[in-house]
């Protein structure tokens, strides 16, 4: 009788439940007597030996539900060698506790859903002999080894709907609106939603912006008798000056801000340069919530079924990725710790430039 652990780790997103359903249903069909252990709140449940035995009924009716029925939490990779009990200076590490839980329950494998940090820890577990299969999920779409991650398209749909709605009020009042979207290190979400929503300026982490170039883009629209402008900015976007700073200096610089985020700081900076009213919209966690879109339901189901197939064939140490419209197993060792960012010559960047979109970047 095979025993498999399931967990969802890191930030939540749409499609996690659909993926869990895909894994579980495929496993139950192939091996009706299989036992699935659902760990609470991601790696925390594995560390603290907190789980429940799942049943087929647990995975019924969850295809369209956002979030995760198992719960999730962030357990930073850099803390894996720290004591599992945060109140103690010494004791078993988080890694040792996870290995202990796995061995105590005599599991045959783990199926893990997560983003970049989650995959680094999954590879660490694999190096210690744990049999692991992973699925990519993140609205940032910055996971190496897959063209698209679970949750990304749903977030793009939501972010685009926000931009669409802002267009009408921006037009009515003749304002500049700055919409801040998620994405600390990669700008895929802002790029896709910005293009889909008809943004006039798109600012992403990979292309540091020059404030004067943004000013010129806004002035050009005014000269063309266009009453409004839409700026989409990723939360991790950097100015040219900030991009040249060390991480320590950047943190100190941003810690001195009077404003809560990049969008508000940009609004302040631009107000001194342009003669239009500027307003800010930050949809925040709204981008990660709600139902998964149909694309994510299909993607999550396909990846979940493929992950189950790897488990049934005892093929571990892989992430199931989506490449060229096919599910492809990718070795964890080849992707863990790697970030997939937007290249400056990305096709969508080029097409946006041809339409007159500004990225505020000195080289574009």
What is the CA angle 27-123-133, rounded to 5? 10
Backbone angles phi, psi at 143, to 5 degrees: -85, 130
Q: How far apart are CA 104 and CA 5, in angstroms?
A: 12
Interior/surface letters 146-181, b for 16+ CB within 10 angstroms, e for the rest: bebbbbbbbbbbbbbebbeebbeebeeeebbbbbbb
Is there a catalytic annotation at residue 157? Answer: no
Cβ-Cβ contacts under 8 Å for 164 (sequence gap 6 or more): 197
Q: Name the active-site residue from 12, 41, 140, 142.
A: 140
Q: Which of 91, 132, 139 is nearest to 115 (CA)?
A: 139
Q: Which residues are tagged catalytic? A: 140
């Amino acid at each position: 009788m095979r025993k498999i652990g399931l967990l969802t780790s890191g930030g939540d997103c749409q499609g996690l439940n659909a993926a869990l359903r895909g894994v579980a249903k495929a496993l139950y069909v192939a091996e009706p007597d299989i036992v699935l252990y659902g760990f609470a709140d991601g790696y925390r449940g594995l560390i603290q030996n907190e789980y429940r035995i799942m049943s087929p009924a647990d995975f019924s009716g969850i295809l369209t539900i956002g979030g995760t029925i198992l719960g999730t939490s962030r357990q930073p990779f850099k803390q894996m060698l720290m004591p599992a009990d945060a109140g103690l200076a010494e004791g078993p590490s988080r890694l040792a506790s996870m290995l202990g839980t796995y061995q105590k329950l005599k599991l045959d494998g783990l199926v893990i859903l997560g983003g970049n940090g989650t995959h680094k820890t999954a590879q660490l577990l694999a190096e210690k002999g744990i049999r692991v299969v992973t699925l990519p999920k993140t609205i940032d779409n910055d996971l190496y080894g897959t063209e698209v991650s679970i949750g990304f398209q749903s977030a793009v749909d939501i972010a685009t709907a926000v931009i669409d709605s802002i267009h009408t009020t921006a037009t009515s009042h003749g304002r500049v609106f700055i919409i801040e979207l998620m994405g600390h290190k990669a700008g895929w979400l802002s790029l896709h939603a910005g293009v889909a929503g008809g943004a006039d300026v798109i600012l992403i982490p990979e292309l540091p912006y020059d404030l004067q170039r943004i000013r010129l883009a806004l002035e050009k629209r005014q000269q063309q008798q266009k009453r409004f402008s839409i700026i989409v900015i990723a939360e991790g976007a950097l100015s040219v000056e900030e991009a040249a700073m060390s991480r320590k200096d950047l943190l100190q610089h941003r810690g001195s801000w009077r404003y809560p985020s990049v969008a508000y700081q940009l609004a302040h900076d631009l107000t001194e340069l342009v003669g239009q009213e500027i307003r800010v919209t930050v949809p925040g966690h709204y981008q990660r919530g709600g139902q998964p879109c149909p694309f994510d339901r299909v993607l999550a189901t396909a990846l979940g079924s493929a992950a189950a197939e790897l488990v049934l064939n005892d093929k571990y140490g892989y992430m199931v990725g989506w490449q060229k419209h096919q599910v492809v197993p990718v070795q964890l060792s080849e992707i863990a710790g790697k970030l997939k960012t937007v290249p400056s010559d990305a096709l969508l960047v080029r097409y946006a430039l041809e339409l007159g979109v500004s990225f505020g970047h000195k080289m574009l």
